[in-house]
Amino acid sequence: MRSASRIIPTIAMVWLVGLAGFLSRVPAARADGPPSKGVVGFWKVDFLGFGDDELAIIQIEDKDGKRSGKTVSVQKQALGNAAELVMEPVGSDAEAVSFTLKGQGLELRFSGKLARDGAGAGKILGTLTLRGEPYPARLEPTKDEAVGERKASTLVQQYLLAAREAEPKVKAQKLKDLIKKNDGNPTVHIPYTDLLDSAESAGLTADEVKTAIADWQKGAEPYGSAWTKAVRRKALKAISGHKPYAGIAVELAQQVDRETDGQASLEDRAAVVGLLARAATLAGKADLAKEAGDRSAKLEAQLDEEYHRKVPPFKPQVFKGRKDGKADRVVLMELFTGAQCPPCVAADVAFDALLSTFKPAEFIGLQYHLHIPGPDPLTNDDSVARKDYYGSAIRGTPSTFFNGHSQAGGGGPMAFSEGKFNEFREVVEEQLEGHRGATITLTADRIGDVVNIAAAATLAKKPEVAETKKDGETKEGEKKDESKPRLRLALTEEVIRYVGGNKLRYHHHVVRDFPGGVEGKDIASGSGEVKVKLNLADLRREIEEYLSKSAKTRPFPNPLPAVEFKDLSVVAFVQDDSDRKILGAASVPVKVVNP
């Protein structure tokens, strides 16, 4: 799920749930002009969000003034072996069409109108809504009986090449050329978004940005008001946070705010008002910023309340205890995830549920955030270094390790979270029946911005030492094996509120730092201790500098959360670097001695 640009992963991840990437059809023969009776006839359903994806061939009929429809052929990769077509009322407009395609695990709602002039004449242009998000789509009259084969989108391939350009000005020009070359193709929303998002680094003037937004909106109009409004929201989000365009963002945000009515979801309303508050603040419009900020706070509080009520969407049962009364192993789970990663949702929610299922003496969770598939402000140098430690065992996000070994990988949407939880729980309960390979004592206290950590570890079994004969003499002190036990520390923040692309609002046990270094301390002698005095002010500055540097190459899609360091804990664990096995772990909350 890696990419050279943050634009493609964020928007494509949703579509990849139903389709298999940026693919489209091989053009097939079709009839010219509109059907003889308005919208009655055979139509190809084309999704234009990420290329030219032919989804289905449908037939629309009119019997005794009542419109009906059925599917003739469907794209199996998207809709399964069959799909139901449910026509919906459109009022008195005979040239409007609205229906829902219900496939295997995927539901798409189309709404559009027959175009009588322009490049789309004879076609029905509109939008297909996928999981609440509208994308451009069209119906084309056809004589074909089956959907065509598919091929990669040329436009998307050319965009990916342009997006890899390191020099901002050169990249911007390539994006402009691509947009001009594909004038009238609604899929240009991909390069348009990237162009606006990187406009400041490319040195685009406010007038150039304003013109680009106006041209983008004009090109969207043939596909209806839903797509035109969506384009305005995309443009607003792209320029949000860029001070040179704050005035443009305020005007755009006010327009989007006015057209976001009560029918919009609470999440959509909160997002728009939040962008308005951000733009007004950057533009120096204090009164508008306060008014929008107050509204945003109320909406966000409602969303938080709703989130806590619905997540997790199941009730985890508390662990009743080990079967073996002598078993004392602690299970340390490490989750590599990303706030921009939709497939990480199931794993993240299952991880959170484990924290309320087991006691800290049974289960400890560490959550590392990575810039996969998009920029994540909860990432830091140490979380990236930890990913590198596991090397090829991590092929993307989510990745899960239990006591140092990769198990129960994969994720999915929220609906998969209970199944993922049960999978994780089975692994944890099985490992709890074992015995720890190291005993750890750990203390952590905080005085102001200084955290004092003291950890000591003793191996249950010292690395074996043997007598080895060399040149006829006995040489002592050489190990039989390659055991390399090391004591490591991790500083975690128990709860961080940040809404990324996967819509999760809270992230738990997020690793902020490895005090004393990610390499840890060698305890091959059988025991060892680590004492660290960690200055949180220095750590905060390091994190902010890291994020500032990261944003220059891959800007963050949303405002960054404050680095607050609330509710901290320290985890100490012993890991054998020879086989990555974790021998023991302990966790303590950081005790605040002097707030």
C-beta separation of 141 from 122 below 8 A:
yes
**Spatial distance between the Cα atoms of 23 and 151, rounded to a whole number of angstroms:** 5
Higher pLDDT, 313 or 558: 313
pLDDT for the residue numbered 150? 76
In the chain, the percentage of residues whose pLDDT exceeds 70 is 90
**Spatial distance between the Cα atoms of 272 and 304, rounded to a whole number of angstroms:** 17
Indicate if the pLDDT at residue 32 is higher than 70.
no
Query: Which architecture, in CATH terms, is 7-152?
Result: Beta Barrel (2.40)
Question: CATH says 331-436+488-521+536-589 is which class?
Answer: alpha beta
Reported as a single tens digit per residue, the pLDDT across 83-94 is: 899 999 988 888
User: Average pLDDT, whole number, for the chain?
Assistant: 89
pLDDT for the residue numbered 481? 57
Averaged pLDDT for residues 391-397: 95
Q: In terms of Cα–Cα distance, which of 4, 1, 3, 20 is closest to 342?
A: 1
Indicate if the pLDDT at residue 102 is higher than 60.
yes
pLDDT for the residue numbered 520? 97
Reported as a single tens digit per residue, the pLDDT across 340-388 is: 999 999 999 999 999 999 999 999 999 999 999 999 999 999 999 999 9
Reported as a single tens digit per residue, the pLDDT across 133-182 is: 899 999 999 999 999 877 789 999 999 999 999 999 999 999 999 999 99
pLDDT for the residue numbered 464? 59
**Spatial distance between the Cα atoms of 273 and 282, rounded to a whole number of angstroms:** 14
Indicate if the pLDDT at residue 473 is higher than 90.
no
DSSP result, 422-453: HHHHHHHHHHTTS--SEEEEEEEEEETTEEEE
- Report which secondary-structure segment, H or E, holds 156: helix 154-163
| pTM exceeding 0.75 | yes
**Spatial distance between the Cα atoms of 303 and 306, rounded to a whole number of angstroms:** 5
Name the CA radius of gyration of the chain, rounded: 28
Indicate if the pLDDT at residue 396 is higher than 70.
yes
Indicate if the pLDDT at residue 31 is higher than 50.
no
pLDDT for the residue numbered 130? 85
pLDDT for the residue numbered 463? 67
CA–CA distance from 456 to each of 333, 444, 487, 529, 573 (Å)?
A: 21, 12, 8, 4, 10
Distance from the Cα of residue 29 to its chain's centroid: 39
Phi, psi of 571 (to 5 degrees): -115, 130
Higher pLDDT, 565 or 75: 565
pLDDT for the residue numbered 247? 97
pLDDT for the residue numbered 148? 84
Supply 336's token pair: 């590599």
Supply 268's token pair: 């959509």
Task: For CATH 2.40.128.120, list the domain ranges present in the chain.
Answer: 7-152
Averaged pLDDT for residues 526-538: 97
Pairing of strands 521-522, 66-74: unpaired
In the chain, the percentage of residues whose pLDDT exceeds 90 is 79
pLDDT for the residue numbered 351? 98
Reported as a single tens digit per residue, the pLDDT across 200-238 is: 999 999 999 999 999 999 999 999 999 999 999 999 999
Supply 177's token pair: 């050329």
**Spatial distance between the Cα atoms of 309 and 129, rounded to a whole number of angstroms:** 26
Pairing of strands 438-447, 399-402: unpaired
Task: For CATH 3.40.30, list the domain ranges present in the chain.
Answer: 331-436+488-521+536-589
Eight-state DSSP code of residue 362? T
Averaged pLDDT for residues 50-74: 91
pLDDT for the residue numbered 496? 97
Reported as a single tens digit per residue, the pLDDT across 409-453 is: 999 999 999 999 999 999 999 999 999 999 999 999 999 999 999
pLDDT for the residue numbered 302? 96
pLDDT for the residue numbered 264? 85
Cβ-count burial of 454 within 10 angstroms (0-12 exposed, 13-18 middle, 19+ buried)? middle
Residues counted in the chain: 595
Indicate if the pLDDT at residue 472 is higher than 60.
no
- Which residues in 303-326 are b (16+ Cβ under 10 Å) and which e? beeebeeebbeeebeebeeeeeee
pLDDT for the residue numbered 111? 96
The matching CATH number, chosen from 1.10.287.470, 3.40.710.10, 3.40.190.290, 1.25.40.10, for 154-310 is: 1.25.40.10
pLDDT for the residue numbered 585? 98
